[in-house]
Chain A
Amino acid sequence: MIEVHEATVAYGDGSGRIEAVRSVSFNAAAGEIFGLVGESGCGKSTLLRAVAGLAPLAKGHIVLAGREVGISRTRQERRLVQMVFQDPYGSLNPTHTVDKILSEPLAIQGLDAIDRRVIQAFQEVGLGGQHRYRYPHQLSGGQRQRVAIARALITEPRILLLDEPTSALDLSVQAEILNLLKRIGRAHGLTMLMVSHDLAVIAHMCTRIAVMYQGEIVEMLEVQRLRRGEADHPYTRMLLDASLEKTRQGERDTEGTSSPSLTR
């Protein structure tokens, strides 16, 4: 469903040229949830934007659902892929009501039965009808993210891109949103590409994972191997160690030591 071949995204030119993404290649099959994990500056978000058609490729090409796509896309190509952003506040126009936010994509794509689709979208993401004519500042972070998800789904895309969708949310809200995303992905047979710095979230959601560092994919592995700690690349291992340590000591059994210590 998603094929990325030798994609390179660069900023600036001449001596100031920075390659945020360097010759990255990977594939995601239909219905799969593919994860991109790495720390800040590794290029995962930039890569996501390239797939979204928001950042131009300097080299390489991207194929979605069998069609090669560039930076300028037709309306149909736009309908194919939608994105959910990290900041639930910044991804909704504060001067638009939720109703407007959800009906706009339908209007742009020229779809009919706007009212019915909007109500259906509300039900799908578990938002109460009383929010329909509210403004974003009247909603909580979790509710806003639900609106963002509803907006992404309302034009029936086949690919959903997720840029750290739960990083800005509380732990309990994150659990709800992650469950919602999984459910929706299954219900609609969506192919999802998820970016996060949180290894646990990626491991929960994705079936295959690519680890990025400084613009390149340093390792690709299935989630089972990640869970077992069988990482080949030292960077992946470093990420795993840093993440696991916190989780393990967080749920330490009582026969552990009484005062926590940080291992190096």
Chain B
Amino acid sequence: MSEGPLLTVEDLRVAYRGRSGPVPALRGVSFIVGRERVGIVGESGSGKSTIGLTILRLLPQSALVSAKRLCLLDTDLMAASERAMRSIRGRRISMVLQDPKYSLNPVITVGRQIAESYKVHSGASTREARRRALEMLEAVRIRDPERVFDLYPHEVSGGMGQRVMIAMMLIPEPELLIADEPTSALDVTVQAQLLVLIDELIRRRRMGLILISHNINLVASFCDRVVVLYAGRIMESLKASELALARHPYTQGLLACRPLIDRAQPELPQLTRDPSWLDAPDESRRGTGA
């Protein structure tokens, strides 16, 4: 019952203005996100974080952005004014970042931050916002929401901080959630719990999710589709379940160089970068959502 893709990105090009000319970050990236979970995996310098920032138009003024299409349903994100973007950010597209230490305001209680997030987008009263915030805290599986409401960010653990971030980002009920390394700062057991939570919330609200990570295991186990990014271009785009059948040598190389617990390898295969990958044509598949 999908009415068409949620997010359409076509030939997105982004360059940052550097000292000696523009530095390209994305060089013609195209993909589609439906009401499904898409994982973007890449190493440092691949441009994966730039994608999230570009969709929300949060790049610095000096950045050069161009795209054939960048649309959220029917809204053209490229043409939208800053004012229009402000109402889209948070309300229709939300972003969760890596470290709650840096993305939560340290001098405001977590509960108030969630409530404010709600107020900004719905204009509700303080009391109503507080009620909704408490509901969200429960929805993110925080026991004792009343107590946590009055805590400051430095008083909560990393995992709980991320749950607060998720609560804050999902309370306005956006259609698309972008998560940029949401679990990288967390322990592996906490990671698992958090992902289960995100999974549940996304499904229940029929949202789309873009999960950006350098961890191919994470992306493969959690997402429906995987997009492999290298040097600002998409090398391969495939279903997570078919990752083992990846055809691009970069993807294969990434998969091969992972150390595996249950298999002994005297030496890990190393990834040799083929310079021809830098000029490879865009390999993205235009699959529609689930």
Contacts and interface: CB of A to CB of B under 8 A. Distances in A.
Contacts of B271: 172, 175
Given A242-B188, A254-B245, A259-B290, A227 B220 contact: no
Interface residues of A, number: 48
Given A39-B189, A250-B217, A178 B259 contact: yes
A262 interface: yes
Interface stretch (A72-80, A107-115, A199-207): A199-207
A264 B196 contact: yes
Nearest to A200: B259
Contacts of B223: 260
A227 B242 contact: no
A68 interface: no
A227 B240 contact: no
Given A172-B43, A172-B253, A243 B261 contact: yes
Interface stretch (B11-19, B144-152, B262-270): B262-270
Q: Which of B195, B217, B245, B271 counts the most chain A CB atoms within 10 A?
A: B217
B78 interface: no
B214 interface: yes
A39 B240 contact: no
A174 B215 CA distance: 12
Interface string A171-186: 1111110110010000
A239 interface: yes
Interface residues of B, number: 47
B119 interface: no
A179 B268 contact: yes
Q: Which of A229, A238, A246 counts the most chain B CB atoms within 10 A?
A: A246
A256 B242 CA distance: 9
Nearest to A167: B184
Interface string A14-49: 000000000000000000000000011000000000
Interface in A207-264: 223, 226-229, 238-240, 242-254, 256-260, 262, 264
Contact of A227 (B215, B257, B262): B262
Nearest to B44: A170
Interface pairs A-B: 7 shortest CB-CB: A249-B221, A204-B259, A175-B257, A172-B271, A250-B220, A39-B187, A170-B43
Interface of A: 39-40, 141, 170-176, 178-179, 182, 197-201, 203-204, 223, 226-229, 238-240, 242-254, 256-260, 262, 264
Given A175-B258, A204-B264, 16 more contacts: A170-B43, A171-B257, A172-B270, A178-B259, A182-B266, A239-B189, A242-B191, A244-B262, A246-B220, A247-B217, A250-B220, A251-B243, A260-B221, A260-B222, A260-B224, A262-B222
